[in-house]
Each structure stands twice: as C-alpha cells, then as structure tokens.
Amino acid sequence: MKFFIDTADLTEIRSLASSGLLDGVTTNPSLIAKNGGVFAKVIAEICEIIPGPVSAEVAGTEYDQIMAEAKVLRKIADNVCIKVPLTMDGLRACKHLSNDGTMVNVTLCFSAAQALLAAKSGASFISPFVGRVDDIGWDGMQLISDIVDIYNNYDFKTEVLVASIRGPNHVIEAAKMGAHVATLPPAVLRSLFNHPLTDKGLATFLADWAKTGQSIV
C-alpha cells in the first residue's frame, strides 16, 4: 500500500518525507488556507520535496473553468496530479486530462457507482471518504471493499485512494481489502508506529544494555 500525507504543512511534509515512507501528498484549498501561503507556490514547494504524485485541487466546478485551472496547475511540476470533484463536469474534465497523460485524482466519492464512473473516465485515483461515510451511519470500509471488487472485475487502472481516514484501523482494513493508497493526516501516520509492547520491549532492552557498561561506538 502506498502512503500519501494529507496536509499542506511543509514542515510536516519534510519531516515525514525523511522517513522514506511517503509516496505522495494530497492537498486541497482548505488545507492550504489553513497553513497560509500562495497556492501555486506551496504546491511547487511540495513537489520539490516529494517526487511522487502531489494532488492540487481545482476551485472551479464548471468544465471550462476546471480545464483552465488544470492548465495552470499542471505547469507547476511534472508530478502534479489534478484533483477534480466527482461531478459530471469534473468527470468530463478527467476524461480529457487523462487522455492527455495528466494524472487526475477524482475526489468526494461516496458510492461505488460514483467510483465506477470515475474509472470509466480514466481517473488515476479515486478518493472515497471513509470517515465521512461512517459519520452518517453508513459503513465506509464496505464502500472500499465494493470499489476494490468492482475495479478488479474489470481490471481498471484507477487506484483506490482511501481518504478521510480517522485512525489506524481504517488503514489496516483498507490494506487487507487491497486498496492501493491511503492518504493520512500526519497524526494518523505517526500513530501507526505506536504499540505499548514495542515501548516496553525497547525500555527493557535499553536497561539490559546499560547494565553491560558497553558502547558500540
């Protein structure tokens, strides 16, 4: 499974990129507004840090506006992935952009039917929002399972990018189902390292090593 980080915080991105675990970044206008900075400049800086896909979301909702904004965004760097809404105009733009060889992330997916349309439109990534589906009393992980099954049936090239992840269980369940990508808030990615038995084992090891009075270097 690929790990993307869902943030526009350059300090967080640099820190987590140093771990070697990041495969890409997802952003949106809300995240960039939260962290400040000029949209295009922030995307360019992220693309310099991360060689993998960096999702930059359009603000337009109509086809002509989406295409105009995509033209500007894809000039920022070769690894920019244009993020479009799962609407008729968004999928129309997705089809034309993907035909030109541009990576496209179709966002705000909440049903398997929508995911099927995105795949037929040539999306590079589909972003189902599991946490938001859970919030309304439905089963977000069942949505992931359904999309993965459908894509496997027809050998679609679109990758399932699990979004709106709230904790480690979402990541593990999605990986078991065969989802291709998880985009994680920084805190959730860091939480994957944590286990009390790891902490306990390390503490015991360090105490035993100290008793030897030795040093490796």
3-state helix, strand, coil in the chain (%, to 5): 50, 20, 30
Contact criterion met (CB below 8 Å) for 180 and 160? yes
Is 176 among the residues known to form the active site? Answer: no
179: three-class secondary structure by DSSP = coil
DSSP state of 119: H
Burial class (CB in 10 A: 0-12, 13-18, 19+), 65: middle
Vertex 178: Cα angle to 96 and 1 (nearest 5): 80
Q: Which of 2, 41, 75, 83 is catalytic?
A: 83
Mind telling me the catalytic residues? 83
